[in-house]
Amino acid sequence: MDRLNLTMLTDFYELTMANGYFNSGLKDKIAYFDMFFRRVPDNGGYAIMAGVEQLIEYLENLKFTDEDIEYLRGKKIFSEGFLEYLKNFKFSCDVWAMPEGTPIFPNEPVVTVRGPVIQAQFIETMLLLTINHQSLIATKANRIVRAAQGRAVMEFGSRRAQGYDGAIYGARAAYIGGCAGTACTIVEREFGIPAMGTMAHSWVQMFPSELEAFRTYANMYPDNCVLLVDTYDVLKSGVPNAIKVFNEVLIPKGYRPRGIRIDSGDITYLSKQARKMLDEAGFPDCQIVASNSLDEFIIRDILVQGARVDSFGVGERLITSRSEPVFGGVYKLVAIEDNGRIIPKIKISENVEKITNPAFKQVWRFFDRESGKAIADLLTLHDEVINENEPYELFDPDHTWKRKTVRNYTTKKLLVRIFDKGVCVYKSPTLKEIQEYCKAQTELLWDEVTRFENPHRYYVDLSKPLWDIKDKLLKEYSELKNIEK
């Protein structure tokens, strides 16, 4: 991303609003925006935060080129003063975000931006694009990896991704979600994610016989021999020929076969029979890899049925999150500053779920001290303090009579500072560290929250001071409507 100038990858209304702010004397007005989402994809219990590193790269490279300025001048709606401002543009906002790999939940800020309104507003498009896409794929990958129950999952979706950057950053997100590697070569070069792959059906078809195709491949790659056995007939041709080549080529050279891959048919039945054939031939260590339009539900079902699969290659249904290809993150104004005083702002809608949580906030995660499991998340004002030595009453902000007093707990602030006045102050972990963090944090969720169907609702509550502010703004709006009537 740092090789591309993506500054103009923005919705046009960001520029018309920016021009309006500039010419209305509001360009230096400090505003606070939150990014949050309202619903977990696939009706799941949680999502996975991803894309922060690419957001950092974007913000560090924000600049308008001479060509950008000339293009905007040609629109004939922007003032020369505003164009001069863009020519000298320098990002100076504060940014907080949840670290990549963090389990995240609806209606809590996962990114907060504070700064001059032109800047804070302008970055909306790329911020949402980056976090929405990678969080979507990381969430889907995490579901698929959990369905595999400890078996490796490889991301095989490059050719079906929504564009080349969808393939590249989708593979990155899939790795965060738990995938072991990718079929996409450039991803290993760029991010160090292991690139994996052996042969396609065309390799087998190129030779006079399947046996000769297998034999040639085994001679070329004896230390990493995985043979694709379903080009013609898995059980009558593919597996017998693979066993013959293992005995004729690999064993005499001192190598053991790595595996076979099944890419079609009834994976449960074929894998059971193939396992029996391989074991009887003396290759119990030869792994069986399954691919072909897999997702978390298919993987779960075939394993329940006793499929003898050691690892999975998952393509289009992962890289596009085919079952639900949109992560609905939004970016909303939550406060402004007036003479150093923070003034909360709220968006009200006839759709209750679209009413926003106002004010400059922090997100706390409560953990049970004995089990270590996450209890709930709490949105507070940014400067609130929680004393872990005292009981804390949590209450449902929509049904306030639902209350729970927690004791013997620990807390963790989830929003960490990424930028301080436009300067990045955050050191991104390695991708492997992010993946390990994601796995560890996911394991802190109760099983009831992580199940695929009808997961238990994980509560995101408001502190009493924050709830009071929201309630006051709602009442003020209601009174205003009555006056206007």
pLDDT of residue 483: 62
Number of Cβ within 10 Å of residue 357's Cβ equals: 23
The pLDDT of residue 356 is above 90: yes
Largest CA distance in the chain: 91
Instruction: Determine if residue 150 is left, alpha or beta; phi over 0 gives left, psi from -120 to 50 gives alpha, anything else beta.
Output: left
Q: Does residue 233 share a domain with residue 364?
A: no
**Mean pLDDT to the nearest integer, 99-127:** 98
Which residue range is the domain that position 288 belongs to?
198-292
Per-residue pLDDT of 394-431, as tens digits, reads 999 988 999 999 999 999 999 999 999 999 999 999 99
176 domain-assigned: no
208 domain-assigned: yes
pLDDT of residue 477: 87
160 domain-assigned: no
- In contact, 376 and 366? CB cutoff 8 Å: yes
**What is the Cα–Cα distance from 186 to 166, expressed in whole angstroms?**
13
pLDDT of residue 480: 72
Sign, CA torsion 249/252/258/259: positive
Instruction: Please name which of 23, 289, 6, 321 lies closest in space to residue 143, comparing C-alpha atoms.
Output: 321
Average pLDDT over the chain reads: 96
Contact partners, residue 298, CB within 8 Å, separation at least 6: none
**Mean pLDDT to the nearest integer, 271-299:** 97
Contact partners, residue 140, CB within 8 Å, separation at least 6: 41, 42, 174, 177, 296, 317, 318, 321, 323
Sign, CA torsion 427/175/48/358: positive
Instruction: Please name which of 156, 101, 100, 151 lies closest in space to residue 320, comparing C-alpha atoms.
Output: 156
Sign, CA torsion 106/108/111/114: positive
47 domain-assigned: yes
Q: Does residue 255 share a domain with residue 133?
A: no
How many helices (H) and strands (E) the chain has is answered by 18, 21
- In contact, 308 and 275? CB cutoff 8 Å: yes
The pLDDT of residue 485 is above 70: no
Q: Does residue 357 share a domain with residue 274?
A: no
Per-residue pLDDT of 235-260, as tens digits, reads 999 999 999 999 999 999 999 999 99
Q: What is the CATH number of the domain that holds 252?
A: 3.20.20.70
Q: Does residue 337 share a domain with residue 450?
A: yes
Q: Tokens 């602030």 map to which residue? A: 413
pLDDT of residue 170: 98
Q: What is the CATH number of the domain that holds 451?
A: 3.20.140.10
Q: Does residue 465 share a domain with residue 335?
A: yes
Q: Does residue 449 share a domain with residue 390?
A: yes
Q: Does residue 414 share a domain with residue 342?
A: yes
143 domain-assigned: no
The pLDDT of residue 272 is above 70: yes
The pLDDT of residue 282 is above 90: yes
133 domain-assigned: yes
Report how many domains make up the chain.
Answer: 2
Q: Does residue 333 share a domain with residue 287?
A: no
Which of the four pLDDT bands, split at 50, 70 and 90, describes residue 479? confident
Which of the four pLDDT bands, split at 50, 70 and 90, describes residue 27? very high
Per-residue pLDDT of 289-334, as tens digits, reads 999 999 999 999 999 999 999 999 999 999 999 999 999 999 999 9
- In contact, 157 and 412? CB cutoff 8 Å: no
Stated length of the chain: 485
318 domain-assigned: no
212 domain-assigned: yes
Residues above pLDDT 70, as percent of the chain: 98
Q: Beta strand 311-314 with 287-290: parallel, antiparallel or unpaired?
A: parallel
DSSP 38: S
Per-residue pLDDT of 144-194, as tens digits, reads 999 999 999 999 999 999 999 999 999 999 999 999 999 999 999 999 999
**What is the Cα–Cα distance from 125 to 122, expressed in whole angstroms?**
7
The pLDDT of residue 481 is above 70: no
Which of the four pLDDT bands, split at 50, 70 and 90, describes residue 2? low
Q: Which of 237, 268, 292 is the last residue before a domain boundary?
A: 292
Q: Is this model's pTM higher than 0.85 or not?
A: yes
pLDDT of residue 324: 96
Q: Does residue 412 share a domain with residue 275?
A: no
Q: Give one DSSP letter per residue of 295-313, joined into a string.
A: -HHHHHHHHHTT---SEEE
The pLDDT of residue 482 is above 80: no
Q: Which of 273, 292, 311 is the last residue before a domain boundary?
A: 292
Q: Does residue 446 share a domain with residue 383?
A: yes
Q: Does residue 401 share a domain with residue 263?
A: no
The pLDDT of residue 77 is above 80: yes
Q: Does residue 480 share a domain with residue 377?
A: yes
